[in-house]
């Protein structure tokens, strides 16, 4: 396939960026999107130019590193798919593709397609813990957990922290990410001792990091590669209201 790529290039956070156009003549439909970027970088290096910087790690759709906006959609056109698992057969010969980083003030661009997502780490650090001693792995039935709660906790824990929810939200809200992290511990018995303090701390840190507010556009749910439901935002809001009242 022949494709025209418009790739965002930006040397650093303090400098302005712009799109740079490249024509690729022999893109295999079986390549992943990141393999296609690898091919672009190899051509740039061969011609003595600086390669495009982008985040990646496992390339198996489970680490959340490969966040880019492709033609206006976080992770590209396929639902429930990370950029590393997106294949070029999703595009047509002769198509133009625009590739840019997450757009959010809380995710400053480091270089090209790379953004600083340590704000997510700080949200987790502010309350993402439990004080219950876990020791070695307990017997499966030692702590009874209703299956409904176990399933909900598992679904919330599927969040890989990629930031697609923030990139898709017109307000750059991190509510879906924070709600998933709050909920997967708040639903289990081990997470109950710090349940109220956890939600207060994590929501407060989220606001301090500069993320926007949630106005129920539901774009976060649509962009999430793990299809995490906005129901977790409602759950977090209930926990937050209850914790605020109890604290007062």
Where exactly are the structural domains of the chain? Answer: 3-110, 117-132+144-247
Residue 136: the pLDDT is 73
pLDDT at 138 exceeding the cut of 70: no
Q: Does the domain at residues 117-132+144-247 carry the CATH identifier 1.10.1060.10?
A: yes
Position 134 scores a pLDDT of 63
pLDDT confidence bin for 247, thresholds 50/70/90: confident
CA separation for the pair 228, 164 (Å, rounded): 11
**Range in 4-18, 54-68, 127-141, 156-170 with the lowest mean pLDDT:** 127-141
Tokens of 68: 């880019």
pLDDT the model gives residue 182 = 96
Dump pLDDT digits (tens) for 93-137.
999 999 999 999 999 999 999 999 999 999 999 997 777 776 676
Mean of the pLDDT values across residues 163-184? 97
| Mean pLDDT calculated for residue range 155-172 | 97
pLDDT one-digit tens code per residue, 22-72: 999 999 999 999 999 999 999 999 999 999 999 999 999 999 999 999 999
Q: Do domains 3-110 and 117-132+144-247 have the same CATH topology?
A: no
On whether the CB atoms of residues 194 and 127 are closer than 8 A, the answer is yes
Average pLDDT over residues 183-203: 93
CATH architecture of 3-110: Roll (3.10)
For 112: left if phi > 0, alpha if psi spans -120 to 50, otherwise beta; the answer is left
C-alpha separations of 169 from 34, 204, 216 in Å? 24, 19, 9
Residue 141 clears pLDDT 70, i.e. is over it = no
Chain mean pLDDT for the chain: 94
| Residues 2 and 24: beta-carbon distance below 8 Å | yes
**What pLDDT shows up at residue 248?**
67
Please state whether 143 falls in left (phi above 0), alpha (psi between -120 and 50) or beta. beta
Candidates 120, 78, 108; CA nearest to 224 is 78
Percent of the chain with pLDDT over 90: 90
- The alpha carbon of 41 is separated from its chain's Cα centroid by a whole number of angstroms, namely 24
Token output for 133:
């001693």
Kind of pairing, strands 3-9 and 96-100?
Answer: parallel
75 within 8 A of 82, measured Cβ to Cβ: yes
């Amino acid at each position: 396939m022949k494709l025209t790529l418009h790739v965002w290039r930006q040397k650093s956070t303090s400098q302005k960026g712009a799109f740079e156009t490249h024509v690729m003549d022999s893109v295999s439909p079986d390549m992943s999107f990141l393999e296609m970027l690898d091919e672009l970088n190899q051509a740039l290096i061969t011609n003595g130019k600086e390669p495009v910087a982008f985040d990646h790690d496992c390339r198996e759709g489970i680490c959340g590193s490969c966040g880019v906006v492709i033609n206006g959609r976080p992770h590209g056109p396929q639902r429930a798919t990370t950029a590393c698992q997106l294949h070029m057969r999703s595009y047509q010969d002769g198509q133009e593709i625009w590739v840019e980083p997450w757009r959010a003030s809380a995710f400053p661009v480091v270089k090209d397609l790379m953004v600083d997502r340590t704000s997510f780490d700080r949200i987790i650090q502010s309350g993402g813990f439990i004080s219950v001693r876990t020791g070695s792995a307990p017997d499966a039935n030692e702590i009874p957990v209703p299956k409904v709660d176990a399933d909900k906790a598992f679904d919330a824990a599927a969040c890989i922290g990629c930031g697609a929810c923030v990139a898709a939200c017109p307000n750059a809200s991190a509510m879906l990410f924070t709600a998933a992290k709050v909920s997967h511990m708040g639903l289990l018995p081990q997470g109950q001792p710090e349940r109220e303090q956890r939600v207060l701390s994590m929501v407060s840190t989220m606001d301090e990091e500069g993320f926007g507010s949630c106005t129920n556009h539901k774009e976060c749910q649509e962009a999430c590669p793990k299809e995490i439901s906005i129901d977790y935002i409602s759950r977090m809001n209930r926990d937050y209201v209850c914790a605020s009242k109890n604290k007062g």
